[in-house]
Structure 1
Amino acid sequence: MTVTDWHAHLWPRAYCDFLAARGQDCSHQQGVVPGDDSAAMLRRRLQQMDDCGIDRQVLNAAALYPGLAPLRQNARAARLANEAMAEAVGTSPDRFALLGVLPLPLVAESLRELDHLMNHLGARGVVLPPALHGTSTLRPHYDPLYAALDDARAVLLYHPAGTRAGASLCDPDAVAWSVGAIAEQTTVVLDWLAADMSHRFPHIRPIVSRAGGACFLLDPDTLRDVATSTLCFDSHTQGNTAALGLAERHVGRHRILLGTDYPFIRDARLAEAVRLFRH
């Protein structure tokens, strides 16, 4: 059986440089986490995949979504990111695949970029934030985009954009990110159910990152709706086997896909993430 990692990041240097030059903060991706598209980094990635038994990674550039002003610059940024990521995939097409980014909230521009991704770059689908500028990406404004994703039978990974929901007494960024991510991952499940997306767009393959946040702690009626939906979930739970087991109990093993969050999770932690998924 092919072992595919559906939650793995790549941040092309040219994309980060483009955003940074226009005022978007890319400091984390440019320096803190080693995940660029240089030949050395791609070799390192492949070696770690080999060491851990990962056959393929499906690469995405979240949570570094294009967020420029004026908004029209986001179309140029998304094209740059997707072209660069496709080049990285092309270095090892048997080991890498692509989920592209889109210039939301621009729907017409996103439809054009989706066509380019699916019909010219060979992408498997896209990665989207659950919310953008405080509003859900499942609101009717985006219905034409979901219809196109449905027509393409695309994979859709929901990955947080970095909402800083809540606050801690010490207010460390790491805690603020974690709280915001859980909120985004949980609410996107509820938004998906409320909008009846599984029935309206049955051919999209939706994956919610990090096992759906806290959605499997919700009420039994909601859990039944999750179980009968088309939603799938990735296995990245920071080693929380109880959370992973709860997700499997409610939707079945076949709807839990390997997700590692590489390169945030790497080396020994990457091997452990794969081991926990397999068991």
Structure 2
Amino acid sequence: MTTVTDWHAHLWPRAYVDFLDAHGQDCRHQRGVPPGDDSPAMLRRRLQQMDDSGIDRQVLNAAALYPGLAPPGRNAQAARLANEAMAEAVRADPSRFAFLGMLPLPLVADSLRELDHLMNRLGARGVVLPPALHGTSTLDSQYDPLYAQLDRARAAVLYHPAGSRAGPSLCPPDAVTWSVGAIAEQTTLVLDWLAADMSDRFPCIRPIVSRAGGACFLLDPDTVQGVATSTLCFDSHTQGNAAALHLAERQVGRRRILLGTDYPFVRDARLAETVRQFRAVAGDVYRAARASRR
């Protein structure tokens, strides 16, 4: 049975957030967004809003709260804690939830171990990754062993911004961290993916670029001509910019545009409107999915 799946939905387990806080990582942004944690009451509230908005299933992730602790070895502890808690939330209602795991990048060996645990023991659908880390693309060749394992597992990879600035800017830092920086991260990720021939080298990975690929579909078509024949998919979260969503759909087709809401940043009435915008783009694909459940 086909389900309508939200591929861009956040959950920040309380134990994970507490661990990061205890070791000096600022988590105030995530703590201030209900219903974003894994308490039973918050999960019930999440399910009610999914029902009200016509969402059958959410694939949960803990981005953009990537572990960034010192010493780096603590990142492996943090990732394991996040993943175990996410799996527990999914086990509470596996018909409505799945999840994408966290990895302790840039530690490749630790990430390979955690990926094995994620896919073979916890039943994750894949992982969530930032487009870049410490100024280096996460598509850099140093991560090839990780991508090879993701390819063998036929895993989904959601590329979600880390909120970094993309190069020098005359704007105040607070003005570019998300409103501009996230768009730059996603646009660069698409260009890096094409330049690295990732679709040919790792054809079994399901790559999903959040925020409809940033600004990549505003570029010269020759610059992104490989997008249409790549394996890249794009989620529909464009912060209400329906025109950007239609640009993406015209380039890659509606079947490669996946529902993405950015829940719980988008919730309540805004959640229903986000799903409505997706339906306007997905058209027959969405209607067929809904009809199959009747």
TM-score tier, shorter chain, comes to over 0.9
1:236 has 2:237 as partner:
yes
Distance, in Å, in 2 between the alignment partners of 1:221 and 1:148 is 32
Distance, in Å, in 2 between the alignment partners of 1:82 and 1:68 is 17
Q: Aligned runs of 1:18-33 on 2, under 5 Å?
A: 18-33=19-34
Which segment drifts farther, 54-63 or 159-168? 159-168
RMSD of aligned residue pairs (Cα, Å): 1.2
Q: Deviations over 1:19-48 (max 9, x none)?
A: 010000101111244300000100000000
Per-residue deviation, 1:168:
6.2
SS at match of 1:103: coil
Letter in 2 for 1:130: P
State the match for 2:143 in structure 1.
Answer: 142
SS at match of 1:225: coil
State the TM-score, normalized to the length of structure 2: 0.92
Letter in 1 for 2:162: A
Distance, in Å, in 1 between the alignment partners of 2:104 and 2:51 is 34
Per-residue deviation, 1:209:
0.1
SS at match of 1:202: coil
Change in CA separation of 1:242 and 1:26 when aligned onto 2, cut-off 3 Å: same
Distance, in Å, in 2 between the alignment partners of 1:225 and 1:261 is 27
State the match for 1:6 in structure 2.
Answer: 7
Structure 1: gaps spanning 5 or more residues: none
Per-residue deviation, 1:162:
1.1
Distance, in Å, in 2 between the alignment partners of 1:105 and 1:33 is 30
Q: Deviations over 1:82-134 (max 9, x none)?
A: 00010011111000001000000000100000000000000000000000011
CA contact (8 A) 1:57 1:95 kept: yes
Letter in 1 for 2:245: L
Distance, in Å, in 2 between the alignment partners of 1:266 and 1:15 is 23
State the match for 1:112 in structure 2.
Answer: 113
% identical equivalent positions: 82
State the match for 1:187 in structure 2.
Answer: 188
Distance, in Å, in 1 between the alignment partners of 2:160 and 2:50 is 22
Q: Aligned runs of 1:20-99 on 2, under 5 Å?
A: 20-99=21-100
Letter in 2 for 1:71: P
Q: Aligned runs of 1:199-210 on 2, under 5 Å?
A: 199-210=200-211
Distance, in Å, in 1 between the alignment partners of 2:89 and 2:221 is 44
**Runs (4+) of structure 1 moved beyond 4 Å?**
166-169
CA contact (8 A) 1:185 1:212 kept: yes
SS at match of 1:145: helix
CA contact (8 A) 1:223 1:250 kept: no
Provide the aligned length of Structure 1 versus Structure 2: 278
State the TM-score, normalized to the length of structure 1: 0.97
Q: Deviations over 1:201-232 (max 9, x none)?
A: 00000000000000001112233211111000
1:251 has 2:252 as partner:
yes
CA contact (8 A) 1:7 1:262 kept: yes
SS at match of 1:65: coil
Distance, in Å, in 1 between the alignment partners of 2:261 and 2:29 is 18
